[in-house]
Amino acid sequence: MKLKTRLVIAFLVFSLFPVIFMGMGSVFMIYWFNELESEVRSMIIQLVTMSEMLLVFICACLTLWIHQSLLRPLNKLQEAAQQIRDGNLDFTLDIEEDGEIGELCQDFEEMRIRLKENSEEKVQYDLQNKELISNISHDLKTPITAIKGYVEGIMDGVASSPEKLDKYIRTIYNKANDMDRLIDELTFYSKVDTNRIMYAFTKINVNSYFGDCVEEVGLDMESRGIELGYFNYINKDTVVIADAEQLKRVINNIIGNSVKYLDKPKGIINIRINDVGDFIQVDIEDNGRGIAAKELPCIFDRFYRMDSSRNSSKGGSGIGLSIVRKIIEDHGGRVWATSKEGIGTQLHFVLRKYQEVVQDEQNSNH
């Protein structure tokens, strides 16, 4: 009888497994009611109880896993989204998860970092624009005040001699030129800032072009008491493709920057044109105070000013050399600077020569 009991119990256990764990299937039980009823009933109750406890445990584990792997990251993502909505980008979304949830959190964190960088750039840009407006307002007010003073002196008869009158008129002319250059620089900066520079590229003979530029600049330098030297070492037929107006802006901005930092009793500016293979190299040298080595890499950055003091001799918007770099690079060239403190500074830029391809050579190549 005991062997029969064991066989029946074993049959019941194996028959109930599909029902407990799979939720499907059928169970056929055959037992002797008169002999095994109490034992089987007790065994069934135990199995059902154990199955319920096992299911409760499994559900608890699943709930904990879902909370840890899904709900907690989603809650943190929701908190992060609220932080961004409120304008707070100074937090870190530190969720280390694998799979799609982890990738989503990583993408969200990269988005936050990018938004923070853009926000900081905008703040910096707004500050630079405010500084630009402040600088230009000061730099416009200074020559205007000087012009008014000299005009009043002429009207009051202070310039009694022809020499004094000529000096007053030359000073007024120079101050007016400074104002015109500053306004022109500001107008052009707005085009640089929005990438709306329109170039009119043409063939330019280097000798005649730079000869005219030096002659024009020489009048201004003479009125300021600055010695201007011009040295041309290239072939007279050398041609470049450039925008004549914008190239003149480059020369004027470099020379204007040199004039601001001349500190010797006799200011000297030299312009040299050299042949360097497929390029021409233009060197504009001054005998000013020079630039410190740590500042040299920054002078072409927008709004960079070597002298933070706001005085009339060293004013400026801080965008002149950044405009130079933009124009030269748009011409396919390169600009850089060398300097020695107390001795002077050289600004260099190169432009590619224009070389015509002979038709006969083209045909022979074919």
Q: What is the set of domains in the chain, with CATH numbers?
A: 2-85 (no CATH), 200-366 (3.30.565.10)
**For the chain (length 366 residues), average pLDDT per consecutive 10?**
45 48 48 60 82 83 68 74 79 69 78 86 79 74 87 85 86 85 78 78 95 91 90 93 93 90 91 95 94 88 60 57 91 94 94 73 50
Query: In angstroms, how far is CA 120 from the centroid of its own chain?
Result: 11
**Residue appearing with tokens 């405009």:** 323
Q: What is the pLDDT of residue 98?
A: 63
**pTM for the predicted model, two decimal places:** 0.59
Look at phi and psi of residue 344 and say left if phi exceeds 0, alpha if psi is from -120 to 50, else beta: left
pLDDT given at position 351: 96
Phi, psi of 246 (to 5 degrees): -70, -35
Which residues lie below 8 Å from residue 284, measured CB to CB, with a gap of 6+? 251, 254, 255, 258, 269, 270, 271, 272, 346, 347, 348
